[in-house]
Chain A
Amino acid sequence: MDGLYLIVSTERALELVPQALAGGIDCIQLRHKGPLTRAVVALAEELLQLCGAVPLIVNDRVDLARAVGAAGVHLGQTDLPLAEARALLGPHAILGATASTLEEALRAEAEGASYVGFGHIFPTSTKVKSTPPVGLAALREVCRRLHIPVVAIGGIHRDNIAAVWATGVAAVAVASAIGDALDPCAETRRLKCSAI
């Protein structure tokens, strides 16, 4: 789990994923709200084909991940517990866990997460948040304390990403930075280049 990680909704996946892949995206997380229709299953299968060697991770829905053979799932604090997801997906699945404090991050690691998505780092408009942003100092601390990869998430875009890479994160996750870009392919490339 390293590099640039795109979070994309089922509504926009077919439009954005090919462009992000062309720009060199390293991981895709597919988010779906609402019931699992056969159309969503078909979409996930199509994305899996498009992604090739790039891991496709499904948000929350372990059943969708297992049905299509996705690389793994990303689990929030109100999703299935890591142990249940591991039991359903097997030892090789990538299990990501959301954490917004060091304690949650350490617990996720202890419970068998493959990586921790830590944030939100900056204010973000993608999701309504009840807590303030965690900031870069907390991110640096989490990166220092964890042995598994840390993926920074929340409010990261071209103007602040360099400071995020500098904390030692394994990966940076974005949604609107690519989704709202005029040229998602070029933006993917640009965000990745800022890592050097």
Chain B
Amino acid sequence: MIIPRVMRITDCLVSCDLPIQLRNRDADTRALLEMARALRAAPFLTINERIDIALAVGADGVHLPEWGMSSQLVKRLKASLLVGVSVHSLESGLRAQGEGADYLIFGPIFATPGKVPCGLGPLEQLVRQIKIPVIAVGGITRELAGECLAAGAYGVAGIRGMDGWTLPDR
């Protein structure tokens, strides 16, 4: 399974055209299971934090919060799961990489409701020292996606927009 370069983050049912990260901290397990089953048709499905749901629906991966369980432990549960980790610092990025993460999500790069953006500088610094793919997140529009790639990002993730985005080759 190839790590997608454009990933939609959603907390509900959406069209299955794009690679999807399902992230919903409020739904109960049964509701989340039903959502994940319905989203299984997406070209790539990863489940935020709920490894049980990922295993139950045969998702492609799991996405872990910065202080979630280690990627090593997740891969002991199922070796083929692609593990992404959200990081907010170089230190966390290096740790996640060392623990066997397949990719990182880093941000928020640009302004997004309720969060302070870090800008492209820290992204550039991170990718210089990290060998695994880094996906940029946070306030990314189609135009800004190009800037993230120029800064060294492997891809972009977000909640809004993204339909029909095609990224230039790196």
Chain A residues within CB distance 8 Å of chain B: 34-39, 41, 60-63, 66-67, 77-81, 84, 87-88
Instruction: Tell me the dominant secondary structure on chain B's binding face.
Output: helix
Would A35 and B65 count as touching, CB distance under 8 A? yes
Interface membership of B109, Cβ < 8 A: no
Would B68 and A38 count as touching, CB distance under 8 A? yes
In the complex the two chains form, what is the Cα distance from A39 to B67 in whole Å?
8
CB of B121 to closest CB in A, whole Å: 29
How many chain B residues touch A (Cβ–Cβ < 8 Å)?
20
Would A66 and B69 count as touching, CB distance under 8 A? no
Most chain A CB neighbours (cut-off 10 Å) among B52, B68, B70:
B52
Would B30 and A67 count as touching, CB distance under 8 A? no
Chain B residues within CB distance 8 Å of chain A: 25, 28-31, 33, 49-52, 55-56, 65, 67-70, 73, 76-77
Pick the residue among A37, A63, A78, A81 that contacts B55 (CB under 8 A).
Answer: A63
CB of A62 to closest CB in B, whole Å: 4
Would A63 and B30 count as touching, CB distance under 8 A? no
Nearest B-chain residue to A67, judged by Cβ:
B73
In the complex the two chains form, what is the Cα distance from A58 to B76 in whole Å?
19
Would A88 and B52 count as touching, CB distance under 8 A? yes
Would A79 and B30 count as touching, CB distance under 8 A? yes
Are A63 and B25 CB-contacts (below 8 A) given A37-B67, A38-B68, A80-B30? no
Are A78 and B52 CB-contacts (below 8 A) given A38-B67, A67-B73? no
In the complex the two chains form, what is the Cα distance from A60 to B69 in whole Å?
17
Other A-B pairs beyond A67-B76, A77-B30, A79-B29, 11, CB < 8 Å:
A36-B51, A37-B67, A39-B67, A41-B69, A62-B52, A66-B52, A66-B77, A78-B29, A80-B52, A87-B56, A88-B52
CB of B7 to closest CB in A, whole Å: 20
Residues of B within 8 A of A88 (CB): 52, 55-56
Pick the residue among B33, B50, B76, B77 that contacts A84 (CB under 8 A).
Answer: B33
Residues of B within 8 A of A38 (CB): 67-70
Would A67 and B68 count as touching, CB distance under 8 A? no
In the complex the two chains form, what is the Cα distance from A67 to B69 in whole Å?
9
Would B33 and A36 count as touching, CB distance under 8 A? no
Are A41 and B73 CB-contacts (below 8 A) given A35-B49, A63-B52? yes
CB of B52 to closest CB in A, whole Å: 4
In the complex the two chains form, what is the Cα distance from A61 to B51 in whole Å?
9
Would A36 and B49 count as touching, CB distance under 8 A? yes
Residues of B within 8 A of A39 (CB): 67
In the complex the two chains form, what is the Cα distance from A67 to B77 in whole Å?
7
In the complex the two chains form, what is the Cα distance from A37 to B64 in whole Å?
9
CB of B10 to closest CB in A, whole Å: 18
Would A60 and B29 count as touching, CB distance under 8 A? yes
Pick the residue among A35, A62, A78 that contacts B31 (CB under 8 A).
Answer: A78
In the complex the two chains form, what is the Cα distance from A37 to B73 in whole Å?
12
CB of B34 to closest CB in A, whole Å: 11
Would A78 and B28 count as touching, CB distance under 8 A? yes
10 cross-chain CB contacts under 8 A = A37-B68, A63-B51, A66-B52, A77-B30, A78-B28, A78-B29, A78-B31, A80-B29, A80-B33, A80-B56
